[in-house]
Structure 1
Amino acid sequence: MRFSILLFFLIMFMIGTDTFLISPMLPTLQTEFGVSTGMAGWMLGAYTLGSAVFALIAGPLSDGWNRKTVLLCGMLGFSVSTILCGFADSFWTMCLFRFLAGVSAAFTAPQVWASIPVVMPPSQISKTMGIAFSGLATAQAFGVPIGSWLAAASWSVPFWTIGAASMPLMAFVYFKLPDMKPRAQEKPSILSRYVPLIKSGKARSGFFAYLLLHLGSGTAFAFIGKWLADSFQLPVGHIGTVMMFLGIGTLLGSVVSSYATRKLGNVNAVIAGMSFVILLYAVLPRMSSLPVVTVGFLLLFATLGVVFPTVMEALTALNAAIRGTISSLANSTMNAANTLGAWIAGAIYAQYGGYSSIGVFSAACLALSLVVFFYGGVMGNKRTPSREQTASSS
Structure 2
Amino acid sequence: MRNYTALFFLIMFMIGTDTFLISPLLPTLQIEFGVSTDIAGWMLGAYTLGSAIFALIAGPLSDGWNRRTVLLCGLLGFSISTILCGFADSFWTMCLFRFLAGVSAAFTAPQVWASIPAVMPPAKISKTMGIAFSGLAAAQALGVPIGSWLAAAHWSVPFWTVGIASLLLNIFVFFMLPDMKPAVSERTSILRRYVPLIQSSKARSGFLAYLMLHLGSGTAFAFAGKWMADSFELPIGQIGTVMMVLGLGTLLGSVISSYVIQKLGRVNAVLTGMLLIIMLYAVMPQLTNLLIVTVGYLIIYTTLGVLFPTVMEALTALNASIRGTISSLANSTMNGANTLGAWIAGIIYVQLGGYSSIGIFAAVCLAISLGTFLLGGVLGRTQRKKVALPE
After TM superposition, the score normalised by the length of structure 1 is 0.98
Secondary structure at the aligned position of 2:108 is classed as helix
Structure 2 counterpart of 1:30, one-letter code? Q
How many aligned residue pairs are there? Answer: 391
Q: Which deviates further from its counterpart, 75-84 or 313-322?
A: 313-322
Tell me the distance in 1 between the aligned counterparts of 2:341 and 2:297: 18
Instruction: Supply the AA of the counterpart residue of 2:121.
Output: P
Distance 1:304 1:384, change over 3 A: closer
- Aligned match of 2:116: 116
Q: How far does residue 320 in structure 1 lie from its aligned partner after superposition?
A: 2.9
What are the residue-to-residue correspondences of 1:3-14 with 2, within 5 Å? 3-14=3-14
Please list the CA deviations of residues 167-205 of structure 1 after superposition, one character each: whole Å capped at 9, or x if unmatched.
Answer: 111111111111111111212111010001111111111
CA distance in 2, matches of 1:372, 1:4: 36
Contact 2:318/2:389 (CA < 8 Å) preserved in 1?
Answer: no
1:154 and 2:154 equivalent?
yes
State the SS of the aligned residue for 1:221: helix
- Check if 1:279 corresponds to 2:279: yes
SS in structure 2 at match of 1:80:
helix
Deviation at residue 18 of structure 1 after TM alignment? 0.2
Q: Secondary structure at the match of 1:390?
A: coil
Q: Which residue of 2 aligns with 1:349?
A: 349
Q: Give distance in 2, aligned partners of 1:318 and 1:375.
A: 17
How far 1:381 sits from its partner (Å)? Answer: 2.5
Q: Which residue of 2 aligns with 1:78?
A: 78
Conserved 8 A contact 2:265-2:382: no
Letter of the structure 2 residue corresponding to residue 236 of structure 1: I
Q: Which runs of 5+ in 1 are unaligned?
A: none
- Residue pair 2:72, 2:173 contacting (<8 A) in 1 also: yes
The corresponding residue for 1:142 is 142
Tell whether the 8 Å contact from 1:317 to 1:382 is kept in structure 2 after alignment. Answer: no
Shift of 1:318: 2.2
Matched, 1:390 2:384: no
The alignment status of 1:40 with 2:18, answered yes or no, reads: no
Contact 1:58 1:107 in 2 (8 A): yes
Shift of the alpha carbon at 1:382?
4.6
State the distance in 1 between where 2:319 and 2:183 align.
Answer: 19
Distance (whole Å) between structure 1 residues aligned to residue 46 and residue 169 of structure 2: 25
Structure 2: distance between partners of 1:390 and 1:278: 32
1:53-102: per-residue Cα shift (whole Å, max 9, x none)? 00000011011111111111001100000000000000000000000000
5+ residue gaps in structure 2?
A: none
The code of the aligned residue for 2:119 comes to: V
Letter matched to residue 390 of structure 1: A
The residue that corresponds to 1:177 in the other structure is 177
Cα deviation, residue 312, structure 1: 1.2
Q: 1:391 to 1:250 in 2, by over 3 A?
A: closer
Aligned residue in 2 for 1:102:
102
Deviations 1:32-67 (A, max 9, x none): 000000110000000000000000000110111111
2:113 aligns to what SS in structure 1? helix
Kindly state the Cα deviation for residue 121 of structure 1 after the two structures are TM-superposed. Answer: 1.4
TM-score, length-normalised on structure 2? 0.98
Deviation (angstroms), 1:122: 1.4
Partner of 1:365: 365
Q: How does 1:22-33 map to 2 (within 5 A)?
A: 22-33=22-33
Q: In the TM superposition, what is the alpha-carbon distance from 1:257 to its structure 2 partner?
A: 0.4
Q: Give the CA deviation at 1:143.
A: 0.2
Q: Which moved more, 1:125-134 or 1:308-317?
A: 308-317
- Verify the 8 A CA contact 2:266 2:383 in the aligned structure 1: no
Q: Which moved more, 1:293-302 or 1:200-209?
A: 200-209
Change (3 A) 1:188 1:235: same
SS in structure 1 of the partner of residue 107 of structure 2: helix
Distance, in Å, in 2 between the alignment partners of 1:340 and 1:383 is: 31
Write the distance in 2 (CA, Å) between the matches of 1:284 and 1:391. Answer: 41
Match of 2:227 in 1: 227
Structure 1 CA distance, aligned partners of 2:41 and 2:30?
9
Q: Which deviates further from its counterpart, 198-207 or 37-46?
A: 198-207
Show CA shifts across 1:293-344 (max 9, x none).
0010001000011111111111122223322211110110000000000000
* Cα distance, 1:385 vs structure 2: 5.5
Asked if the contact 1:314/1:382 (under 8 Å) is kept, the reply is no
Partner Cα distance (1:375, 1:138) in 2: 33
Q: 1:43 to 1:201 in 2, by over 3 A?
A: same
1:294 alignment counterpart:
294
Alignment of 1:264 with 2:264, yes or no, is yes
Q: Is the 8 A contact 1:55 1:328 kept in 2?
A: yes
Runs of 4+ in 1 over 6 A off after TM superposition: none
Deviations along 1:195-249, one digit per CA (max 9) or x if unpaired, are 0111111111111111000000000000000000000000111100011000000
* Partner Cα distance (2:319, 2:382) in 1: 10
Q: Distance in 2 between matches of 1:88 and 1:13?
A: 23
Q: Counterpart of 2:321?
A: 321
- Please say if residues 48 and 338 of structure 1, whose CA atoms lie closer than 8 Å, have aligned partners that are also in contact: yes
* Offset at residue 383 of structure 1 (A): 5.8
**Match for residue 253 of structure 2?**
253
How many angstroms apart in 1 are the aligned matches of 2:73 and 2:106?
Answer: 11
Relative to structure 1, is the Cα distance of residues 89 and 365 closer, same or farther in structure 2, using a 3 angstrom cutoff?
Answer: same
Asked whether the equivalents of residues 140 and 243 of structure 2 are also in contact (C-alpha less than 8 Å), the reply is yes
